Amino acid sequence: MARRAPLEGIRVADFTWVWAGPFCTLQLAHLGAEVIRVETATRLCVTRLLPPYPDMQAGTNRSGYFNQYNQGKKSITLDLKRPEAVEVARRLCAASDVVAENFAAGVMDRAGLGYETLRQRRPDLIMVALSGYGATGPDSDKVSYGPAQVPLSGMSSVTGYRGFPPMHVGISYGDPTGGLHGAVAIL
């Protein structure tokens, strides 16, 4: 008898992009969840444009970076500026157990997809928001990426060599770390 994956039967509506968010939902996909990635054709995920590419031929569906963090996921493209597309997204969220997003605070609300709106159709909905600066506060409306979070966290100040200025930590320590914490929060 085949063993069931831990999250088999769980559906995730994935409104994430770049690295932290897709890394979060990738963990859920690896645990057996059905993850449905929602993208907009007017603003594709920037990682679609990053190498490596097979045979060094660039293309929006050829990025090894994008494909690594979105493997095992289904996807749908919606223009969330159109009311009928927002309604499709709301139906997807109502049929999902989890919604994940990593935009600046307020983006999902302005799109008509904020937690208070979505839980009207799905009261037991679990939603994780991986915004760089939190839901409230003076910088909450700002977009953020992992490399900006490392120095803000103070991590750079304890990295490097005695007698030299602080050093940045690798490519982007904050993104995968934030993604993993988001996945654990969902679990």
Q: Which two tokens stand for residue 182?
A: 């988001």
The answer to whether 109 is a known catalytic residue is: no
Annotated catalytic residue, options 55, 97, 139, 175: 175
Going from the C-alpha of 93 to that of each of 44, 77, 89, 97, 117, the distances in angstroms are 20, 15, 6, 8, 10
Judge contact between 137 and 109, C-beta under 8 A: no
User: Tokens 């009311």 label which residue?
Assistant: 83
| Sign of the four-CA dihedral 71, 105, 183, 144 | positive
Q: Which residues are catalytic?
A: 175
